[in-house]
Structure 1
Amino acid sequence: MARPGALELTADPTALAPERLLVFEVRGSIQEFAKAVNEIAGLDFIDEEELEGDEGDKAPVAYLLVPDAQAMEQILSSWKRWSAGRLDASKPWAKVFDLLRDLRTWGPDDRLSEEEQTFLEEEIEGRPDNDLILLEVELVFSDKPERAISYEAAVSDSILTYGGRIAHRAYVEDIAYHALLVSLPAVAVRSIVERSPESILGLNAVWHIRPQSLAPSIDIADPVTEPLRPGPVPEKPPILALLDGVPIARHPLLADRLEVLDLFELEPDTPVANRVHGTAMASLIVHGDRNRLEAPLPRRILALPVMGWDGRDEGLPKDRLIIDVMYRALYALHGPESIAPSVLIVNMSLGNRKRPFHGQMSPWGRLLDRLAWRFGVLFLVSAGNATDAFTVPAFAGSMEFEGADGTARARGVLSALNDKIAERRLISPAETLNGLTVGAANVDAVPAHERRTVGINVEPYPEHRMSNPSSRVGPGFARSIKPDFLMPGSREHLRIRASGGNMSVAPAGVARAFGLKVAAPPVDGNEATERYTNGTSAATALGSRTCHRIHDALEDAYGESFTALPRHRRAVLLKALMVHPARWPESSALLIRETLGPSDPKQHVRQKDNVRRFLGYGVLDPDDAVACAADRATFWAVGMLPSEQSAVVEIPIPTCIGGQARPHGLWATLAWFTPVQPGRRSYRSVRLNLLDPDHLATLAMKPAPAQPDHNQVRRGTVLSRRWEGNRAPAVTENMTVRLVVQRELDQGTPIDDPVPYGLAVTLSMPGVNEVYNQVRQRLTPRQRIR
């Protein structure tokens, strides 16, 4: 048998040698499986959360790297004997085998997922045999140049043999990524779909085959050509970069508010009439939803186009691998020869709709995680949209659906979406751990007189603030909370596609009656054009705008005390302050619990699992994220935490809340950047924790029920906790509460580097207007209050 300590188990097999890789398909409890492997192999085992699957997915899969061919043969031989009933149940591996559906070596079945197989089937359907299809072929990664060259040569030779060509290549050692963009005849792609061992699927140098990355599109509708009155032109350097489509830089709403860096020379070939996505996102970041008539941002933003026009569609470049495009773009912003050292926030209202997340980190997600840690940049990423039709079994037909009261209709739609949950998962790179993922809430600022023009479409959640039906849902990697929060994405309606015994509906797109108002390409020669848009791309742009506004508020309040902080600390502080105000709407959380269950109140963890799938940490009000109030005080702290160390933050408690039996609360949000280790025992290397504050009983507080379960919030790189009460606190003069930020034992290979963290804390007693002033008087110059 393999010697103890020589085995390595992981949930993410990236960068591991496939010839020494065993694939475990687990049935039953992943915790039992983890314990059984740990007992026989003597492993300092990975947390089971890193391996844990999700309801609606296939069986959880784990990967075991064995030391050599002999160990591989021994384990496989034991598995065969077990399967044939000839292995003694007392043998060490028997307990592990009893928890498996299957055990096999890495091979062709792992190189093409069933979902990607379906995408390719759709791509080649009806195409002539000699039509060329673009595929992304990810190779087995090696950091040894001669081996990497041999892998690439083997695959390239096979591609040429099939009559194909190599369109592009990328090798990114930072994230253990080596890939080719290849053009193959449809007949060769058909053999891949059929899983023929004679196809390139049978090559040992191939790690994975996927359709070419495809960015989501957005809808714009109902042109408006009212006169526009742009505000004064800002002069400060940009702190926010928009990686998106080519914008209309001379649009009246955007003129002198954008710095455009056309790194990939996409602007000349993109007609102004087709500059839809980038223009809309830039407008939302600079001005917000134009229905609200907010003040524009006080700085220019930097637009770096990564999508252009190919003659038919606005999308990602057809001749390049998206990972290479993003890598080059981000290194241009922040690498050794940085052209935008002031940029701290990066908006990414795009993703790969051909790559839904199902357990393993995508190369794009790994890239964002790696560069967030390296450069100290906060990425805001859209969760993605699912616009396909779905059936609503709760209603017999359209008349019953339209006539139902708001709660009954909401229950039916929610239950139908939950039945299709595995098909509506996040798209790459929304699973990023270091970045923030934004979903779309059914919120907009359409005036009441415009709302009445809604027509034949039906509002699914008329009485609840919820994620839109098209907004993709979590969880993220290792069941972390994703999306992190929801931003306004328009009050999406549903259009009935089929009625009768199997009624189906689909998101209705966008219209003046439910949309966000944005700058748009010209209509009939009128440059001053606006239209309406929606979805998670728009929500992410509004999230980035809010993040910028938080930065502006901190800069105004603290000046150099804030701006002189190292960029990593400013970035994680913004990350914490973005999630901090997010809340589960009480009625929406109750609707999800009652509709999706489980009905047993003892199953509250699973109930909260269902809530955070759809709501994340909650809906974020952009104004609340920036505003001050007399009856609350928000503190912030930043720092660097060495290995296995902790930091103490003391919160002064104002005497004005003492003796008052009224609702009050304390809530805290901790955020950090973790280094990542693709292919190692734990992808997320560093985990921080926020301990319960002292004096909770004295303050008459306890953990709030309307928040994610404590175990759920420890799976990503954001942790938000709330404590509240109604009884009178017992407050003494100069009383403080201690919050402890603790760095736990590093997962996998120990990390020597200190980890940047940001902490936001709010103390509130609604209606007691002395809270802010009393706390302010207690602060020393080194403490912060917003």
Structure 2
Amino acid sequence: MEPTDEYQLISKKPRNPFIRSCLHAVCLNETALKNLLSLWRKWKQNQSLGHGYSPLRELFAHLKDVRPWGPQDRLKMLDWDEHFAGRITDQPHAIEIELWYRHSPQKRLASQREVTALVEQAGGQVHTSAVIEQIGYHGLKCTVPTDVLLDLARGNFGSVHLVRSANVMYLRVTGQGLPIAGPPIDAVSGGDSPLPASEPVVCLLDGVPAANHPLLQGRVIVHDPDDLLSNATVDELKHGTWMASAAVWGDLGSNEPAARRPVLVRPILTPSDETADRSEELPATELVPDLMWRVFRELFEGKGTEAPAGSQIAVVNLSVGDPASPFDSILS
């Protein structure tokens, strides 16, 4: 369809001026799949579809293609030029692989071994794996050489066995969360607002804030179990500081008093070694669903013998986006 006010092209210079969408048909078995493909070919050749199948013509008239799940479906779409801008190309790049979830532990292990072997054959390395049975999730976080990404960008799927594996549901070129830039915080003090009291009810999932900043000192509680602060210098603590300021003060130009409760910050962003300017992203070894699963349990259930970090939290702010996963198909 053509772009509208609601649906816009994500690239300023798109290769295709239209917006595509997909329908996913789940077939009962391979025979049903072959039958569907046969009917599609007959319709393309203006042949009769046979008794009982004629209503499919109304569906086929709206379709550009009917095909099995393939490499172009596994590779989550993104703007390649935008992805490579600012990236350091002579070092490995993070990718996130979501496998088809198998209910059998033996089959999950076999599929993970097969995909791990393909990653290593491509010169890459698997750093993290996660299985979340409750939501049917099985993922791997890997790094691969730049050449692999360049082949994907050129559409050379034949040379990238990973994107052709039947065990792979999605291959995301990056699972990083790239936050937008924010304004500088120029205020030198927190004004006359009294320091907060009581327990926090707002939790911010973002970068590590500069907790000693005049606007934030005594107003934020940082819960950093992954020690992301150790990977950053003070001048790199940007997005978490901006967002913490917004949570504590709202619009600085409105001169409103600060929040009466402290804000709990659970850092999930850290400066990236993959980018020239070390922009804040999710850690290269983290799988997003697994991280969120773990974070919410830390907050509300605790971890092992540790008490919950935020059982009284009522609002969670997550102002982080993933440019490699636009809402263009199935949500994980």
| TM-score greater than 0.5 by the shorter chain | yes
**Structure 1 residues 127 and 220 mapped into 2: Cα distance closer, same or farther (>3 Å)?**
closer
State the match for 1:423 in structure 2: none
Is 1:282 paired with 2:252? no
- Letter of the 2:165 partner, please give it: L
What is the RMSD computed on CA atoms of the aligned residues? 2.8
State the match for 1:197 in structure 2: 158
Q: Is the contact made by 1:216 and 1:353 (CA closer than 8 Å) also made in structure 2?
A: no
Q: Is the contact made by 2:185 and 2:242 (CA closer than 8 Å) also made in structure 1?
A: no
State the match for 1:355 in structure 2: 325
| Paired residues for 1:432-447 under 5 Å | none
Report the 3-state secondary structure (helix = DSSP H, G, I; strand = E; otherwise coil) of the residue aligned with 1:308. strand
**Structure 1 residues 161 and 222 mapped into 2: Cα distance closer, same or farther (>3 Å)?**
closer
**Structure 1 residues 203 and 174 mapped into 2: Cα distance closer, same or farther (>3 Å)?**
same
Is 1:255 paired with 2:225? no
1:124 and 1:186 map into 2 onto residues whose CA distance is 13
1:131 and 1:142 map into 2 onto residues whose CA distance is 33
2:131 to 168, 171, 179: 171
1:140 and 1:178 map into 2 onto residues whose CA distance is 7
- State how many pairs are aligned: 306
| Paired residues for 1:182-331 under 5 Å | 182-193=142-153, 194-199=155-160, 200-212=162-174, 213-221=176-184, 223-225=186-188, 227-310=189-272, 312-331=278-297
| Paired residues for 1:589-608 under 5 Å | none
1:327 and 1:173 map into 2 onto residues whose CA distance is 11
Deviation at 1:316, TM superposition (A): 1.8
Deviation at 1:244, TM superposition (A): 0.8
State the match for 2:314 in structure 1: 344
**Structure 1 residues 314 and 191 mapped into 2: Cα distance closer, same or farther (>3 Å)?**
closer
Report the 3-state secondary structure (helix = DSSP H, G, I; strand = E; otherwise coil) of the residue aligned with 1:305. strand
Q: Is the contact made by 1:230 and 1:253 (CA closer than 8 Å) also made in structure 2?
A: no
1:518-566 CA deviation, whole Å, 9 max, x = no partner? xxxxxxxxxxxxxxxxxxxxxxxxxxxxxxxxxxxxxxxxxxxxxxxxx
Is 1:76 paired with 2:37? yes
Deviation at 1:232, TM superposition (A): 2.3
1:191-214 CA deviation, whole Å, 9 max, x = no partner? 333242342111111111122124
- Letter of the 1:107 partner, please give it: G
Deviation at 1:59, TM superposition (A): 4.7
Deviation at 1:166, TM superposition (A): 0.8
State the match for 1:111 in structure 2: 74
Is 1:86 paired with 2:47? yes
State the match for 1:153 in structure 2: 113
**Structure 1 residues 92 and 121 mapped into 2: Cα distance closer, same or farther (>3 Å)?**
farther
Structure of higher CA gyration radius: 1
1:354-403 CA deviation, whole Å, 9 max, x = no partner? 32222432x3xxxxxxxxxxxxxxxxxxxxxxxxxxxxxxxxxxxxxxxx
Is 1:137 paired with 2:107? no
1:354 and 1:189 map into 2 onto residues whose CA distance is 13
Q: Which has the higher contact order (CA 8 A, sep 6+)?
A: 2
- Letter of the 1:216 partner, please give it: P
2:97 and 2:190 map into 1 onto residues whose CA distance is 48
Deviation at 1:269, TM superposition (A): 2.6
1:253-285 CA deviation, whole Å, 9 max, x = no partner? 222221110021112232222222112211111
1:435-473 CA deviation, whole Å, 9 max, x = no partner? xxxxxxxxxxxxxxxxxxxxxxxxxxxxxxxxxxxxxxx
Q: Is the contact made by 1:195 and 1:201 (CA closer than 8 Å) also made in structure 2?
A: no
1:294 and 1:127 map into 2 onto residues whose CA distance is 42
1:219 and 1:125 map into 2 onto residues whose CA distance is 18
State the match for 1:67 in structure 2: 28
**Structure 1 residues 302 and 192 mapped into 2: Cα distance closer, same or farther (>3 Å)?**
same
1:466-513 CA deviation, whole Å, 9 max, x = no partner? xxxxxxxxxxxxxxxxxxxxxxxxxxxxxxxxxxxxxxxxxxxxxxxx
1:282-311 CA deviation, whole Å, 9 max, x = no partner? 111112222212122221121111112346
1:159 and 1:54 map into 2 onto residues whose CA distance is 35
2:83 and 2:269 map into 1 onto residues whose CA distance is 24
- Letter of the 2:327 partner, please give it: F
Deviation at 1:122, TM superposition (A): 5.0
Q: Which runs of 5+ in 1 are unaligned?
A: 1-26, 28-52, 364-786
Q: Is the contact made by 1:82 and 1:94 (CA closer than 8 Å) also made in structure 2?
A: no
1:87 and 1:201 map into 2 onto residues whose CA distance is 36
Deviation at 1:54, TM superposition (A): 6.1
Normalised TM-score (structure 2)? 0.82
Q: Is the contact made by 1:134 and 1:183 (CA closer than 8 Å) also made in structure 2?
A: yes
Q: Is the contact made by 1:287 and 1:296 (CA closer than 8 Å) also made in structure 2?
A: yes
Identity %: 26
1:268 and 1:257 map into 2 onto residues whose CA distance is 21
**Structure 1 residues 121 and 132 mapped into 2: Cα distance closer, same or farther (>3 Å)?**
farther
1:95 and 1:120 map into 2 onto residues whose CA distance is 43
Report the 3-state secondary structure (helix = DSSP H, G, I; strand = E; otherwise coil) of the residue aligned with 1:103. coil
Q: Is the contact made by 1:124 and 1:190 (CA closer than 8 Å) also made in structure 2?
A: no
Report the 3-state secondary structure (helix = DSSP H, G, I; strand = E; otherwise coil) of the residue aligned with 2:37. helix
1:344 and 1:255 map into 2 onto residues whose CA distance is 23
**Structure 1 residues 325 and 297 mapped into 2: Cα distance closer, same or farther (>3 Å)?**
same
Deviation at 1:323, TM superposition (A): 2.7
Q: Is the contact made by 1:237 and 1:342 (CA closer than 8 Å) also made in structure 2?
A: yes
- Letter of the 1:76 partner, please give it: L
1:122 and 1:238 map into 2 onto residues whose CA distance is 37
**Structure 1 residues 264 and 188 mapped into 2: Cα distance closer, same or farther (>3 Å)?**
same
Q: Is the contact made by 2:223 and 2:309 (CA closer than 8 Å) also made in structure 1?
A: no
**Structure 1 residues 179 and 346 mapped into 2: Cα distance closer, same or farther (>3 Å)?**
same
1:643-663 CA deviation, whole Å, 9 max, x = no partner? xxxxxxxxxxxxxxxxxxxxx
Report the 3-state secondary structure (helix = DSSP H, G, I; strand = E; otherwise coil) of the residue aligned with 2:324. strand
Q: Which runs of 5+ in 2 are unaligned?
A: 10-17
State the match for 2:12 in structure 1: none
| Paired residues for 1:487-526 under 5 Å | none
Q: Is the contact made by 2:272 and 2:280 (CA closer than 8 Å) also made in structure 1?
A: yes
State the match for 2:14 in structure 1: none
Greater per-residue strand proportion: 1
Deviation at 1:72, TM superposition (A): 2.0
